[in-house]
Amino acid sequence: MITIDKLLSPKKEFSSLILFDENDVFNHFLLDGQKEAYITNEYRENKRDFFVFNHLSHHLIVIIYPVKKTAYQTNETLRKLGAKCLEFFDKEYIKNINLIAQSSKEELLSFVEGVCLASYCFDNYKTDPSRLVHPFDHISIIHPEVEVEDINHLRVVCEAIEKCKDLVNEPVSSLNALGLAQAFVNMGQEANVRVEVLNKEEIEKLKMGGILAVNKGSIDPPTFTIMEYKPSNPLNNQPLVLVGKGLVYDTGGLNLKPEDYMNDMKTDMAGAAMMGSVIYAVSRLEMPIWIIGLFPATDNRPGGNAYASGDIINMYDGTNVEVVNTDAEGRIILGDALAYAKQFNPALIINAATLTGAAQRAIGSFGICAVENHAGMYLSDLKQAGKDVYERIAEFPFWEEYDELIKSEIADIKNSGEKVAGMITAGKFLAHFTGDYPFIHLDIAGVAYNSAKKDYLTFGASGYGIRLMVRFIEKYFIQK
C-alpha cells in the first residue's frame, strides 16, 4: 500500500506534480514565468496536457485534465490518470511526490485513489527475491481542503480492497472453505468485528440442506461464517445484512464446466470476499451502522457422492428444490443464507455473487447487474452511489412472470430456469428465500475478475463493489 500523508508545503527533495483542470490559469509558485507561458501556449496550440521538467535531483510534472459533463465522470478520468502516472513514476524511478492541485478535494482524492488501486500486485508466488514491482511508494498531499481524516478514509477503503483481491486471487489449493472462514476471523480480529464460524456439524444441525448438498462431492467440509459489526449506538435499529457467495472453487459439479470456463473458478467466492471486506472497512471507519454478514462456503466438485441433476434438496427454510443443473450451485448455498437472515429482522438484505454468465453476457465487464424485491428506494440510492464511485449498476426487471420460469413440476421450485433471462431467474430463486424483507441482488460475474490490466483495474481480482458499498452505507443508507 502506498504511503499517503498531508503537508502544508512541498518538500524540496521530492518530485512535485501539479494538477490543473482545463479551465485553470496555469500558474503556481513552483512554476516560473517562462514555464507558465510555455505550458499555456503548448496546451492552447497543441492540446498538450503532460509536461515534465527534469531538475536532475527531482522532477516537476504538470498535468492538465479535462472537465467532463458530470463530476463523477471527471473523477473517473482522474483515477485513470493516476494509474497512468504510476507507470511514469515507476519508469523514471520516482519514489516520492508532492501532489498539488487547485481542483476540488474530490478530484484530487480520485487521482490518489487511482494511483493506490493501480499499485496492487498479487506476487505471493513469485520467487525472485530482487523483484521490485513499484519503486514509487509515497504521496504527500498539499491541498487546503484535504484533511487527515480524508486520507485515512481513502487508505482504509484501499486496504479493504487489497484484502479482497488477495482472497480472490488465492488458489483453492491454499484457500478452501476453512481457509476463507479463517481469513474472515483474522479480518474480524484486526477490525474489532465479531466473527462466528459454523462447522459442518453445526450446519447439519441447522438443516441447511443447500450448503450440504453442494458440498457432497468435496473432501473438504463447508463453513458458514457470521460477521457482526454493531457499534455502541448504531443509527439503525434493524441491521443491514450483507450476504456473499463463498464458492471457493466451482467445477460445475456433475454438470462439468468446459475447460476454458474453469480456469478462473477460484474467483467464485468473490461475493463473500467483497462483502466481508466491506464490513472490515466499515468497522475500521467506525461508521455508526449495525451490519451482519453471512457467508456460506464450500467447493463444488463432481467426486464422491456429489449431488446430481434430478435430486430434491430440502433447504433451511423447508423449501424443496429440484436440481436441474449442478452448475447453478451458488444460488443453492445462498438460499440457506438468505433464509437464515430473516431471524435478524433486517432493514435490508444485499447479496453479492458471481452468479451467472448471463449477467456478463448482458452488459459485459462495465458494471453490476441488479434486481430488487421490496427495495426500490434502496436500489435507487445504491445506483447513485455506483455513479459516485464509477462502479455502476444496471437494474433488470423483476416482473412476476419470471416466477413461472423457476416453478417445478415435482418440487416447490427448481434451481435453474429456461435458457432465457438467466440473471433474473437466478434473482427470483434468491428472492424466494427473503420473503417480504427488502432485498437487492448484485450479480458481479462480469466485474469481479480482470483477464488483463485496464487503467487502475489490475490483472486478476478487481475488488469491485467495495467502494460502491462503502459509499452507499456512508452517504445513503444512514439517511434512511
The secondary structure of residue 207, as a DSSP letter, is: T
CATH number, domain of 37, equals 3.40.220.10
Mean pLDDT of 247-261: 91
Q: Can you give the pLDDT at residue 135?
A: 87
Residues 135, 174 share a domain:
no
Residues 323, 438 share a domain:
yes
Say whether pLDDT at 131 is over 70. Answer: no
Say whether pLDDT at 291 is over 90. Answer: yes
Lowest mean pLDDT among 17-31, 129-143, 156-170, 338-352: 129-143
Residues 180, 110 share a domain:
no
Q: Can you give the pLDDT at residue 450?
A: 95
Residues 228, 115 share a domain:
no
Say whether pLDDT at 479 is over 70. Answer: no
Mean pLDDT of 213-218: 98
CATH number, domain of 228, equals 3.40.630.10
Distance, C-alpha 207 to centroid of its chain: 31
Confidence of residue 148 (pLDDT cuts 50, 70, 90): very high
Residues 192, 90 share a domain:
no
Lowest mean pLDDT among 52-61, 77-86, 115-124, 256-265: 256-265
Residues 277, 301 share a domain:
yes
Q: Can you give the pLDDT at residue 259?
A: 75
Tally the domains of the chain.
Answer: 2
Find the largest Cα–Cα distance for the chain: 82
Q: Can you give the pLDDT at residue 355?
A: 96
Exposure pattern of 352-382 as b/e (b: 16+ CB <10 Å)? Answer: bbbbbebbbebbebebbbbbbbbbeebbebb
Give the length of the chain: 480
Residue 35 — left, alpha, or beta (φ > 0 → left; ψ -120 to 50 → alpha)?
alpha
Asked if 331 is an active-site residue, the reply is yes
Q: Which residue has the cell 416447490?
A: 412
Confidence of residue 132 (pLDDT cuts 50, 70, 90): low
Domain end call among 122, 146, 170: 146
Mean pLDDT of 279-288: 98
Considering the entire predicted model, what is its pTM? 0.96
Q: Can you give the pLDDT at residue 123?
A: 86
Confidence of residue 56 (pLDDT cuts 50, 70, 90): confident
Q: Can you give the pLDDT at residue 130?
A: 64
Domain end call among 98, 114, 146: 146
Q: Of residues 11, 35, 257, 342, which has the active-site annotation?
A: 257
Residues 178, 303 share a domain:
yes
Q: Of residues 331, 392, 428, 471, which has the active-site annotation?
A: 331
Residues 444, 301 share a domain:
yes
Domain end call among 103, 118, 146: 146
Residues 338, 213 share a domain:
yes
pLDDT tens track for 186-213? 999 999 999 999 999 999 999 999 999 9
Residues 256, 125 share a domain:
no
pLDDT tens track for 430-457? 999 999 999 999 999 999 999 999 999 9
Q: Can you give the pLDDT at residue 1?
A: 85
For residue 34, the enclosing domain spans 3-146
Q: Can you give the pLDDT at residue 114?
A: 98
For residues 281 and 255, the answer to whether their CB atoms sit within 8 Å is: no
Residues 159, 141 share a domain:
no
Average pLDDT, the chain: 95
Asked if 194 is an active-site residue, the reply is no
Q: Can you give the pLDDT at residue 124?
A: 84
Residues 378, 270 share a domain:
yes
Q: Can you give the pLDDT at residue 478?
A: 74
